[in-house]
């Protein structure tokens, strides 16, 4: 086999859409050489998947792309709510959600915010950044087959333009190859969940007159509920370009070809309540809403991410965000294993952490579609109702009761009813503003987390700080350590009125270890007699070092 290998790379990514590109970005930031192959010729052209939640934007912030994404999203910067109405020309209608972040409440929890950026605008930003980081991204290139053994994965890739095939040897393979994932199928991994929920045809069109009909209602999406022409209207630029999601019933024999331009134009005019507006159809794409989660998130050296691992109803944009967060969770673990800081056992925590999150989130997405009466969706009774966590809690309040954490409460719900960011192991670490002594440059605690594990202590934690240096040397790892306080020897000063220890559920003599993804890995609420021994045992366990 050895002489047949054309190229070698630590990580091979199959799929160059949103999740694959995110994986490339995150791996590139961590210095992990990788190759991405995508069978399509370029990034997505169809406006879809526009909602980027706070947690996703936090990850893009740390990856240095947040401001670029906001620039790409500028046309929809003032669009916020979700509107529902029988017609845009009458007085009826209500805001299901007037403002996604009323009163700027998110600022208490995060340095980032929600961002409405369509996938066709977001993907080019990620592509450009990934290329600048040295990523080997190959479009019009398909993974035809792969085999794995104890030491790696061997894949056959083909250039779809020239037909040329090459054999690639990788340490690990990331399957970001979509909901019908050939890789998942090859591994024989089944799925759980309710299956197909509903089907729509996404229609892009131009109309100058529609902006006058919409008026000053700057919604992200408008659910139009007229009996003879329901659907969902989404602005692309608020002036001329729009998207309309029309219900589709393939189970009754209805085909995509049945959606002629004439039918689509008439449907859109009836739905908005303006029979004479100009409508020029520019594209159509079918999509299927489903609730499915893979039974396993990987096998051997192959890992599923994004739609190959889970499908969710689009309401709330949970699916794309969950996929991006999959990619981030996997990227930092691969980086530490590949550079020798962690043992391969760390990778087992990927599925243990991310699969329960996908299960809980996909169920919430289905219920939200029922709550919003999404066009084309007729949910079964058991899929509606019940107390539900808010969007922000689902987006960033989820936790990891099991995985690469120590001391997490195993009975803690993966998605709690209310936001609970208190420094507990297995939860996303709290955000607070800091500045280096003697400077006015501010940063969030979340800005400290990307490449390495981080030890946070208060001004009374000098012994922990010394222990971190010794443990890092003994394990040959990088363990960043920061003392937070206003006294001598502090590395970072909290903003006035902030109490680092109270926010993290510790005392001034305590310590918190935070993972590269910003989740609390371990916590000591106070001092201990031998901090070096405790920290050595902690890091050895977290990194799966024998």
> Which tens digits make up the pLDDT trace of 421-462?
999 999 999 999 999 998 888 999 999 999 999 999 998 889
Measured between its terminal Cα atoms, the distance across the chain in Å is 32
Take residue 80 and report the two structure tokens written for it: 């916020």
Question: CA-CA distance, 116 to 484, in Å (whole number)?
Answer: 35
d(CA 345, CA 242): 48
HSE-CB of 327 using CA atoms within 13 angstroms: 36
| Tokens matching residue 262 | 């004439």
Q: What is the pLDDT along the chain (546 residues), one digit of tens a residue?
A: 455 899 999 999 999 999 999 999 999 999 999 999 999 999 988 777 778 999 999 999 999 999 999 999 999 989 888 999 999 998 888 998 887 777 777 888 999 999 999 898 999 999 999 999 999 999 999 999 999 999 999 999 999 999 999 999 999 999 999 999 999 999 999 999 988 888 999 999 999 999 999 999 999 999 999 888 899 999 999 999 999 999 999 989 999 999 999 999 999 999 999 989 999 999 999 988 899 999 999 999 999 999 999 999 877 678 899 999 999 999 999 999 999 999 999 999 999 999 999 999 998 887 776 665 566 666 665 555 444 567 788 888 999 999 999 999 998 899 988 888 999 999 999 999 999 998 888 999 999 999 999 999 998 889 999 999 999 999 999 999 999 998 888 999 999 888 999 999 999 999 999 999 999 999 999 999 999 999 999 999 999 998
Three-state DSSP at 62 gives helix
For the entire predicted model, the pTM comes to 0.94
CA distance 213 to 215: 5
Residue range 35-50, pLDDT digits in tens: 999 999 999 887 777 7
* In contact, 344 and 328? CB cutoff 8 Å: no
Q: What is the rounded CA–CA span in Å between residue 198 and residue 228?
A: 18
What count of Cα atoms within 13 Å lies in the side-chain half-sphere of residue 545? 18
> Taking the alpha carbons of 486, 490, 493, 497 in that order, is the dihedral positive or negative?
negative
Closest CA to 514 of 79, 62, 13: 62
Place of tokens 């201990």: 528
The domains located in the chain, with CATH, are 2-79+113-191+292-396 (3.50.50.60), 193-290 (3.30.9.10), 433-542 (3.40.30.120)
Cα→Cα distances 545→56, 285, 456, Å:
30, 48, 22
- Residues 69-92 have pLDDT tens digits of 999 999 998 988 899 999 999 888
Which residues are CB-contacts of 467 (< 8 A; sequence separation ≥ 6)? 531, 532, 534, 535, 536
CA pseudo-torsion sign 22, 28, 30, 36: positive
**R_g (Cα) of the chain, nearest Å:** 24
Cα 475 from Cα 135, distance rounded (Å): 29
The C-alpha atoms of residue 392 and residue 428 are separated, in whole angstroms, by 13
């Amino acid at each position: 086999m050895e002489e047949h290998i054309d190229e070698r790379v630590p990580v091979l990514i199959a799929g160059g859409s949103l999740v694959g590109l995110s994986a490339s970005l995150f791996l590139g930031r961590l210095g992990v050489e990788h190759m991405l192959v995508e069978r399509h010729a370029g990034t997505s052209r169809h406006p879809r998947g526009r909602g980027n939640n706070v947690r996703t934007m936090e990850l893009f912030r740390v990856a240095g792309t947040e401001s670029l994404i906001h620039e790409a999203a500028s046309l929809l910067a003032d669009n916020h709510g979700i509107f529902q109405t029988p017609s845009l020309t009458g007085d009826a209608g209500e805001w299901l959600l007037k403002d996604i972040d009323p009163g700027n409440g998110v600022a208490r929890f995060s340095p980032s915010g929600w961002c409405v950026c369509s996938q066709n605008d977001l993907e080019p930003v990620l592509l450009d950044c990934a290329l600048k980081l040295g990523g080997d991204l190959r479009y019009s290139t398909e993974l035809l087959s792969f085999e794995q053994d104890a030491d790696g994965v061997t894949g056959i890739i083909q250039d779809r333009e020239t037909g040329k095939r090459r054999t690639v040897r990788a340490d690990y393979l990331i399957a970001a190859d979509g909901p019908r994932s050939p890789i998942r199928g090859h591994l024989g991994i089944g799925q759980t969940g309710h299956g197909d929920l509903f089907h729509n045809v996404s229609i892009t069109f131009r109309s100058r007159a529609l902006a006058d009909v919409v008026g000053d209602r700057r919604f992200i999406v408008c659910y139009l509920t007229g009996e003879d022409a329901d659907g969902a209207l989404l602005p692309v630029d608020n002036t001329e370009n729009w998207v309309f999601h029309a219900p589709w019933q393939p189970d009754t024999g209805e085909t995509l070809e049945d959606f002629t331009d004439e039918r689509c134009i008439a449907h859109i005019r009836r739905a908005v309540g303006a029979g004479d507006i100009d409508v020029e159809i520019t594209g159509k794409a079918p999509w299927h809403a489903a609730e499915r989660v893979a039974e396993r998130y990987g096998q051997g050296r192959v890992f599923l991410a994004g739609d190959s691992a889970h499908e969710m109803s689009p309401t709330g944009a949970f699916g794309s965000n969950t996929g991006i967060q999959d990619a981030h969770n996997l990227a930092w673990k691969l980086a530490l294993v590949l550079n020798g800081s962690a043992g391969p056992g760390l990778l087992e925590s990927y599925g243990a952490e991310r699969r329960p999150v996908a299960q809980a989130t996909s169920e919430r997405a289905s219920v939200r579609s029922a709550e919003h009466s999404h066009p084309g969706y007729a949910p079964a009774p058991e899929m509606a109702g019940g107390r539900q966590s808010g969007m922000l809690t689902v987006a960033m309040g989820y936790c990891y009761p099991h995985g690469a954490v120590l001391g997490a409460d195993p009975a803690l719900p993966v998605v709690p009813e209310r936001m609970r960011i208190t420094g507990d192991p297995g939860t996303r670490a709290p955000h607070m503003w800091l500045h280096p002594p003697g400077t006015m440059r501010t940063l969030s605690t979340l800005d400290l987390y990307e490449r390495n594990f981080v030890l946070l202590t208060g001004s009374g934690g000098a012994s922990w700080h010394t222990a971190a240096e010794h443990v890092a040397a003994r394990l040959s790892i990088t363990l960043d350590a920061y003392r937070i306080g206003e006294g001598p020897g502090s590395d970072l000063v909290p903003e006035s009125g902030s109490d680092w220890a109270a926010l993290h559920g510790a005392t001034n003599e305590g310590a918190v270890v935070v993972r590269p993804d910003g989740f609390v890995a371990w916590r000591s609420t106070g001092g201990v007699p031998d901090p070096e021994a405790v920290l050595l045992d902690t890091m050895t366990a977290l990194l799966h070092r024998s």
